[in-house]
Structure 1
């Protein structure tokens, strides 16, 4: 296959230590970040299917529910919303000898799972692995493969499964595994539009289709599955977008009242942010959502060398250079005021911006 234009692929030797741990494991828990997306979910399902085929007991526990447009993935492998108050969930997690965090490299992004994983890890009864492609990881895992060259975590899991297959002298890719990985790669590359979509990624996607992934079906299930409530929210949101500072900043705040009026949920806001960057003059797009617990979720998108992950980092968030996010731990009114000031300062002089 063609080597990636950006960075490199990982060889079997690069994956060797992580493969050793997975093959030695009896019970593996897979998880991803709060407010899961296609990359995290697709990577989880693909790896869960592989490990199950290798005779491992596998549980997928996520800190938040699966968004409706990704629930078709659970037809291939069940994904459970982890409830820290449920004794059965706690028991299941405590029995795992390995937990793998996918598509996140910050411990706090594990949400309600982190305190329990941390406890088992400190007892020495569990090893924590991490596979991710974001920038600036925390040092919290026993073993981490975090490669920011990759377009997606799905790209890394594709290489991991290939390496395991070489070790096992067998082809581990099935139609279901290929489709889950296609979901991961397609969504995190913006349907193969984003800058990290290297020649290798196109080749990888083609290989997944050749192995059974249905590209048209995947796109339709994810992007053509809006609920009536989400559609109402989209209409209300589009009329509320503000363009500031001579067209350089695109801004949208979605309040709890807007969610209530349309009957929509937090995950219904995920597809809205793409509209904020559709005006050519916009350099930074900001979507803020008032959450039911009083916190405010912020999502950033940008163009070119405006690296919004640096902006998100100030508030404990992170992400990609041109797509990032964070959570404000205070009121939405204050969050909007503070963030707008920071966005303007960041655009004025990104190099001197402090966080």
Structure 2
């Protein structure tokens, strides 16, 4: 089967194990990584709407709350925040047939859900399915489709729905599903700016618009809905950015004091990192955020052949080659010192490797 006018063949065989598990299961829980983003949330909502259409009992249960600019998605399908002290939530998780993790391929990214999912799997017949597009997955699932060629997990869910249609012989896309998937693809491609925005992705987006997604409305809801607190944080953050090493590294640390002074929350930091890479000379941008429990979250962005997922991996994190992150298990003071030293060494090694490749090609 050729996807509509796109010239890319649908690999229905790849999706067959996923479809088998979702058809066999009746009580299905969908989840995504901690500190959810548009790709994870949009993919969850789209898949939940599809499964509901097929008569399944579906719940979306996430380890952290939905950021304000994505809460319009909850009008398409309800999203619950998991509380590991809530016996009803734990029981619901233990009674489901299938858990589907979207937009993450590491068990720890499930946060507080993972111990309960793992325990339920050991006790019964729970199946774990994962659909993702990041590098280097954990081996913890019964079925996994992890394709790092994809621009987003939403792109893969789009393919999955076409595979479902081929299996069942019926139209399954609705305007609501199209809207949720457009959120996924648009946000994870940086509004169609990032390198993995292939001609296929543009055509996919056009197909979703033709199926009912309102592109301008979705963009407005996500990017023109900053709270006053987030705006204050952005102002404070921009004045605190440091550019180091002759403009090669841009660096920003956001403390708990800064969050409290502006009345902002962790998810208000998500849009800030794009500003750190806006200086043309910068090769690596680093955003560090002090967590309430004393740990430190780090997000990395890079240009070209500077593969920051390798840097994140060193600290137990991961992600894409040019966009990755990790969580330091120690104080922010120590995290900043350790990371800056490692970052400089990493950048020196990466630059040498790129120079070596260029010399070989010459």
**Residue 6 (structure 2) pairs with residue 2 (structure 1):** yes
Aligned residue in 2 for 1:286? 286
Per the alignment, residue 297 of structure 1 pairs with: 297
Moved over 4 A (4+): none
Match of 1:243 in 2: 243
CA deviations 1:197-251 (Å, max 9, x no partner) are 1111111000000000010011111111100000000000000000000000000
The separation in 1 between residues aligned to 2:20 and 2:185, in whole angstroms, is: 25
In the alignment, the residues of structure 1 paired with residue 60 and residue 270 of structure 2 have an alpha-carbon distance, to the nearest angstrom, of: 22
Number of equivalent positions: 349
Partner SS for 1:52: helix
Alpha-carbon offset, residue 62 of structure 1: 0.1
* 1:108 paired to 2:92: no
Note the alpha carbon deviations across 1:98-157, whole angstroms, 9 max, x for none. Answer: 000000000000000000100111123200000000000000101110000000000000
Match of 1:83 in 2: 83
Residue 360 (structure 2) aligns with: none
1:50 maps to 2:44 = no
> Taking structure 1 as reference, are residues 95 and 246 closer, same or farther at Cα in structure 2, changes over 3 Å only?
same
Range with greater deviation from structure 2 (284-293 or 123-132): 123-132
Q: Displacement of 1:10 after TM fit?
A: 4.7
Bigger share in helix: 2
Aligned-partner Cα distance in 2 for 1:108–1:26: 26
Kept in 2, the 8 Å contact 1:2–1:203? The answer is yes
Change (3 A) 1:276 1:165: same
1:15 maps onto 2:15 in alignment: yes
Partner Cα separation in structure 1 for residue 101 and residue 352 of structure 2: 33
Asked if the contact 2:306–2:351 (Cα under 8 Å) also holds between the matched residues in 1, the reply is no
Contact 1:3 1:199 in 2 (8 A): no
1:147 aligned partner: 147
Task: For residues 321-354 of structure 1, give each alpha carbon's deviation from its aligned partner in whole angstroms, at most 9, with x where no partner exists.
Answer: 110000000000000000001110011003899x
- Segments of 5+ residues of structure 1 without an aligned counterpart are none
**Partner secondary structure for residue 14 of structure 2:** coil
The answer as to 2:232 corresponding to 1:232 is: yes
Q: Normalising by structure 2, report the TM-score.
A: 0.95
TM-score computed with the length of structure 1 as normaliser: 0.97
Q: Structure 1: how far apart are the matches of 2:263 and 2:21? A: 45
In structure 2, C-alpha distance between the alignment counterparts of 1:103 and 1:139, rounded to whole Å:
15
2:12 is paired with a residue of what secondary structure? coil
- The corresponding residue for 1:259 is 259
Alignment partners' CA distance in 1, 2:27 and 2:294: 37
The root-mean-square deviation of aligned C-alpha atoms, in Å, is 1.2
Partner of 2:92: 92
Gaps (5+ residues) in structure 2?
354-362
Matches within 5 A, 1:139-218: 139-218=139-218
Partner Cα distance (2:206, 2:346) in 1? 39
Give the distance between the partners of 1:3 and 1:141, measured in 2 at CA.
Answer: 31
Does the 8 Å CA contact 1:42/1:180 hold for their aligned counterparts?
yes
3-state SS in 2 of match to 1:136: coil
Matched position secondary structure for 1:71: helix
Partner of 2:356: none
CA contact (8 A) 2:286 2:301 kept: yes
Contact 1:25 1:98 in 2 (8 A): yes
- Secondary structure in structure 1 of the residue aligned to 2:11: coil
Q: Within 2, Cα distance between the matches of 1:85 and 1:75?
A: 26
User: Any conservation in 2 of the 1:179–1:214 contact (CA below 8 Å)?
Assistant: yes
What are the residue-to-residue correspondences of 1:308-323 with 2, within 5 Å?
A: 308-323=308-323
